[in-house]
Amino acid sequence: MTDLSAEIIALSDEYVLGLLTPTEAGLVEEIMARDLELAQRVGDLRDRLLPLDLSAAPVDLPEGFGVQVAEQLANKDQLPKMQFAGVQTENPANQPAAPKPWLAGMLAASLAGIAVGFGVAWMQPAPAPKVVAVLMDAQGVPQAVVDDYGNDTATVRFVADVPVPADRSLQVWTLPSTDMGPTSLGVLTGAGAAQLSFDDLPDPSAEQLYEVTLEPLGGSPTGRPTGPIIGKGFAAEQT
């Protein structure tokens, strides 16, 4: 990453929390497409926040919320104006701040540093997974996230502490079809982030089942899940 990495990292935190304007978010995404380290950090932070997102209870909008929004839109011509980069824009006090004027410069500097430091190959956007599955335990608590890229590779990241005895291994499975049955995607030595490689599986699809089980050391002796299920979930297609 560049000399501006501290500022970029701080900005990425705001990106994950949804505090950036659409313009700022778009610029951060441009940086992530060319800086895999930053993209990985954003992914890890999202994983850590995922249990909080899933545990949040729905909250009803306050009474009259729709009427208040309609009145504000009707009176938008009376909202205060502000100048940014020579363009006059409306900026209500309760709306996100205008894009930070140093952000465009940061983007240019970041891209230049990446091009010099890592070469043209790093300028290619990182591949996006075809499906993502959040694996939950019996109580509905997220345990891991599987990203399946549809090219015989996938990644798994754990979002909870999963104890693994010394004589046991974690194993990742999927169910491409009822005819194929449960198919191993890989054996893990511990509950850490890992890349999975496998052969001859069809492209993943929405609602495809994924799970992680606790197996004997080295993996299931039968080629099918035998141990307790640590977490399981159905894939969501990414568009």
CATH number where 180 lies = 2.60.40
- Interval 182-229: pLDDT, tens: 999 999 988 988 999 888 899 999 999 999 999 999 999 999 999 999
For residues 167 and 118, state if they share a domain. no
Tens of pLDDT, residue by residue over 99-111, are 555 555 555 555 5
Task: Please give the full DSSP string across 93-148, using - where no structure is assigned.
Answer: TTSPPPPPTTHHHHHHHHHHHHHHHH-GGGGSPPPPPSEEEEEE-TTS-EEEEEEE
- Here the tokens at position 80 are 């205060």
On whether both 108 and 153 belong to a single domain, the answer is no
Residue 189: predicted pLDDT:
84
Report the pLDDT value the prediction gives residue 92, as an integer from 0 to 100: 47
Whether 169 and 212 share a structural domain = yes
Q: Which of 96, 123, 150 is the last residue of a domain?
A: 123
Q: How many CA atoms within 13 Å lie on the side-chain side of 73?
A: 6
Q: What's the structural domain count of the chain? A: 2
Q: What is the pTM of this model?
A: 0.51
Q: 74-96 pLDDT, tens per residue?
A: 665 554 444 434 444 444 444 44
Confidence of residue 112 (pLDDT cuts 50, 70, 90): low
Return d(Cα 156, Cα 135) in angstroms, integer. Answer: 10
Residues 144-196 have pLDDT tens digits of: 999 999 888 899 999 888 999 999 999 999 999 999 999 999 999 889 889 99
139 and 115 in a single domain? The answer is no
Residues 172 and 96 in one domain: no
Last residue of a domain, one of 79, 100, 123: 123
Instruction: Give the residue numbers spanning the domain of 39.
Output: 5-123
Residue 65 pLDDT greater than 70, yes or no: no
| Average pLDDT over the chain, rounded to an integer | 75
